[in-house]
Structure 1
Amino acid sequence: MPTLYHHWLSPAARFIRVILAEKRVDIDLREEREWERRPAFLALNPAGEVPVLVMDDGKAYSGTKAIAEYLEEAIPEPALLIGSVDERYEIRRLIGWFHTKIGTEVTRLLVSEKLHKRIYGIGVPDSTAVRCAAHNLKTHMKYITYLVADRNYLTGKYFTMADAAAAAHLSVIDYFGDVHWSDWPEVKDWYMRVKSRRSMRSLLQDRVPGIRPPVHYDNVDF
């Protein structure tokens, strides 16, 4: 059985977990605390970052986007990069948007302030950083509202890697209770569709010791 080194609130690892679940690949999850810089883990990925996927033959794959592309080629069905060349480009563009833009401007700020400071015991969250993340999130929620205005999913009728990327980040943000869903009904409807998928159900059962998500977190109907 393949092994995925991950952390519970790593959106990159969650993205790969969703892809693996969509492709019906059973995996052994191993929590990796990147900040510990374990030599054995660094031997798998010198960058010291999750996710790292180790296949049954012992080969280790790192780099979030590279793993996703590898899985799409190695396990083509069900396809998560679909459509014409331009349509697949759009899926890849959105994957980059969510992992780079929302990752930098929202998710990493919240994880750093609300999780890492707790782990390291270095004080309470910086209210300025948290407010900045909240402000930036509004921009991204407006963009997702635009994308899903006349679609079931971000790029059309079907669930793709773009949806997996967006959901990976929003699920982490929502774990901290920082998504005001009543302000974003179109995004809420989209996220309800995503939450109902088998690939999201186990992920939403994750719990970080000492930090509880809001009561609606794993409820498909909010």
Structure 2
Amino acid sequence: MPVLYHHWLSPAARFIRLMLAEKRIDFELRLEKDWERRPAFLQLNPAGEVPVLVLDNGATLAGTMAIAEYLEESVPSPTLLDGTAEERAEMRRLTGWFHTKLGTEVTRLTVQEKLNKRFLGMGEPDSEAIRCASHNLKIHMRYIGHLAERRHYLAGNRYSMADAAAVAHISVIDYFGDIVWEDWPEAKDWYMRVKGRRAVRTLLSDRVGGILPPKHYDQLDF
């Protein structure tokens, strides 16, 4: 059985968990505190970051999109990258958008200040960084709402890799209660749709010691 090295609030690892679950691949989760720079883990991925996927044959895959593309190529059905060349390009664009822009401007700041610093003894939270993340979040929620208002899913009519990437980040941000869903009705409607997927429901059952999410976190109708 493949082994996925992850951390509960790593959006990149959550994204790969969603990919694996959507493709009905059984796998073992192995918690990795990558900030500890464990030598054995660095041998698997010199970058020292989760996710890392170790296959049944012992091959090691690292790098979020490298793993995602491998899964899409090796288990083509059900696909999370379907349609015309133009449609697939849009799915890839949005997947990159969520992992880079949303990840850099919101998720990474949120996890660093509200988890790593506050609960892992890495210093005092930076209030300016938290305000910056809050400001940027509004921009991204507006964009998600814009997409959801025009498409059934974010990249088109089908659930795709782009939705999985968005869910991976939004679910982490929502764990800290930072999203006022009433302010973003179109984004909320999209999130309610994807929450009903088995893969997403499994993800939302995660709990991090010492931090509880808001009551609505794993509710399908909130």
Tell me if TM exceeds 0.5. yes
3-state DSSP of counterpart to 1:29: strand
Structure 2: distance between partners of 1:204 and 1:89 = 29
3-state DSSP of counterpart to 2:53: strand
The equivalent of 1:30 in structure 2 is 30
Equivalent position amino acid for 2:96 in 1: G
Equivalent position amino acid for 1:71 in 2: L
The equivalent of 1:218 in structure 2 is 218
The equivalent of 1:142 in structure 2 is 142
Superposed CA RMSD: 0.9
Residue correspondences, number: 222
Structure 2: distance between partners of 1:121 and 1:35 = 12
Tell whether 2:195 aligns with 1:195.
yes
4+ aligned runs moved over 6 Å, structure 1: none
The equivalent of 2:54 in structure 1 is 54
In structure 1, runs of 5+ residues without a counterpart are none
CA positional deviation for 1:33: 0.2
Deviations 1:144-186 (CA, angstroms, capped at 9, x unpaired): 1111113210011110000000010000000000011000000
Deviations 1:176-216 (CA, angstroms, capped at 9, x unpaired): 00011000000000000111100111110111100110000
Equivalent position amino acid for 2:82 in 1: I
The equivalent of 2:130 in structure 1 is 130
3-state DSSP of counterpart to 1:78: coil
The equivalent of 2:87 in structure 1 is 87
Where do residues 134-213 of structure 1 align in structure 2 (5 Å cutoff)?
Answer: 134-213=134-213
CA positional deviation for 1:123: 4.1
Structure 1: distance between partners of 2:169 and 2:113 = 16
In structure 2, runs of 5+ residues without a counterpart are none
Structure 1: distance between partners of 2:214 and 2:108 = 19
Where do residues 73-112 of structure 1 align in structure 2 (5 Å cutoff)?
Answer: 73-112=73-112
Equivalent position amino acid for 1:38 in 2: R
The equivalent of 1:44 in structure 2 is 44
3-state DSSP of counterpart to 2:149: coil
Deviations 1:35-74 (CA, angstroms, capped at 9, x unpaired): 1111111111010000000111111100000100000000
Equivalent position amino acid for 2:84 in 1: S
The equivalent of 1:68 in structure 2 is 68
| Percent identity of equivalent pairs | 69
More moved, 142-151 vs 100-109? 142-151
3-state DSSP of counterpart to 1:205: coil
Structure 2: distance between partners of 1:43 and 1:150 = 45
3-state DSSP of counterpart to 2:116: helix
Structure 1: distance between partners of 2:124 and 2:70 = 40
More moved, 117-126 vs 140-149? 117-126
Deviations 1:120-165 (CA, angstroms, capped at 9, x unpaired): 3244422211111010011111111111113210011110000000
